[in-house]
Amino acid sequence: MSDALALPRPITARPAAYDRAVRLQDASDEWLAGRAARGDTAAFEQLVLRHQDRLYTLALRVTLNEADARDCVQEGLISAWRSMARFRGDAKFSTWMYRIVMRKAYDALDKRKRTPQPVDELPLTVVEPQIADRLDLDAALAQLEPDFRAAAVACDVVGLSMDEAAEVLGIPPGTVKSRLFRARDRLAVILDPERSS
Amino acid sequence: MSDEHDRIARLLREQGQAEAPPDLVGDVMAQVRREPQATPMHRGVNWRPIATWAAVAAALLAVGVGIAQLAPGGSSSSSGSAGGGGSSVAAEAAGGGKSAPAYPSADSAVRSFTVPRHEAEKLLSGETNEQFSTVGRSTLTLDRAQWNALRGKLAAAAARHPHPKDPVIVRLRPD
């Protein structure tokens, strides 16, 4: 009886934080970058969450070292945060971040001055085939010159277009194309030695 | 060759991906929250175009003032072809009367001269009219006929005394 007479419950508003989180997830990179440029750390965090894997992939495949890759991404993201105010939307935000991380990766390579690991030191025979393929790939990438490796990673691993890769690498698109061609050619030989014979 | 390249590209795309360490975001954001951000964008007022327009406006104003200075009748030089240059101001200061109106400085258009008081008395001594007494006056007004008769002498007097100590403005009565 009392239930029948009870007034309907007011619709409880969703928490503001929930709405905000949903809005951030749906927002474009450029909108988030604009918010981050005005000091919104939540917007910047959304950008980091969105791009961290690809940034890490880029750094890892160029530096070929997990610790270096992590440092590159971390330092690159901090640099991006510090200079968010200078991002004016001339390029895609993701391209801008990739470029920062790519520079960090090149810096790491210059600092390290380490020669690539030889293929025969990798334990290819004691791992599962799928992992072995990946190790093959890592070893093959390690045999490429850094500039060719960077072109292959930017275009084929990360999936950037030729123009985006050119912007990230700071070279003309034609140079990216030729480096990518040579990198693929070289990788084909490394991964399939019979081809060279 | 193309098939081989496609195979390599597919291999890189499928096997080249990596996942970021799980604590990377936390570490980055912890540092971000400690880091002061660079100066935010000044989205409010862009001063550069405003400054440019202000400079242009100032230049135009300066040009305008310059033209006004050079233009005929633009200053008290109309008070005499030779005796101008602020003499009407001096006359006003001396007598406290109305200042000479600004007229074009062409000779035919000059309608006032600033001359020393004694020169004015001498030139106007032939006139019997009481109104030409210079005692206690800073401005004397002549009608057209008198003006035409005395204009040459007044101009010469003004030229001889460009900055008279005790000036009197002799002018043509306005029509």
Is the CB of B5 less than 8 angstroms away from the CB of A195? Answer: no
Select the residue of A61, A73, A152 nearest B24 (Cβ to Cβ): A73
Q: In B, which residues are within 8 Å of A55 by CB distance? A: 20
Q: Find out whether B129 and B51 touch, Cβ atoms under 8 Å.
A: no
Q: Residue B102 CA to chain centroid, in angstroms?
A: 18
Is the CB of A153 less than 8 angstroms away from the CB of B18? Answer: no
To probe the interface with B, which of A62, A137, A157, A195 has the most B CB atoms within 10 Å? A157
Is the CB of B16 less than 8 angstroms away from the CB of A156? Answer: yes
Q: In A, which residues are within 8 Å of B24 by CB distance? A: 52, 56, 70, 73-74
Mean pLDDT by 10 residues, chain B (175 residues): 83 88 92 73 66 92 86 48 40 42 52 85 69 70 84 87 85 78
* Tokens encoding B94: 């001396």
The residue ranges of DSSP E strands in B11-150, in sequence order, are 112-116, 139-142
A156 φψ region: left (φ > 0), alpha (ψ -120 to 50), beta (else): alpha
The interface predicted TM-score (ipTM) is: 0.74
In this predicted model, what pLDDT tens digit does every residue of A147-177 receive, in sequence order? 999 999 999 999 999 999 999 999 999 999 9
Cα separation, B124 vs B118, in Å, equals: 10
In this predicted model, what pLDDT tens digit does every residue of A178-187 receive, in sequence order? 999 999 999 9
Residue whose pair of structure tokens reads 């981050």 in the numeric block: A36
Cα separation, A94 vs A74, in Å, equals: 15
Q: Which chain A residue has the Cα nearest residue B37? A: A82
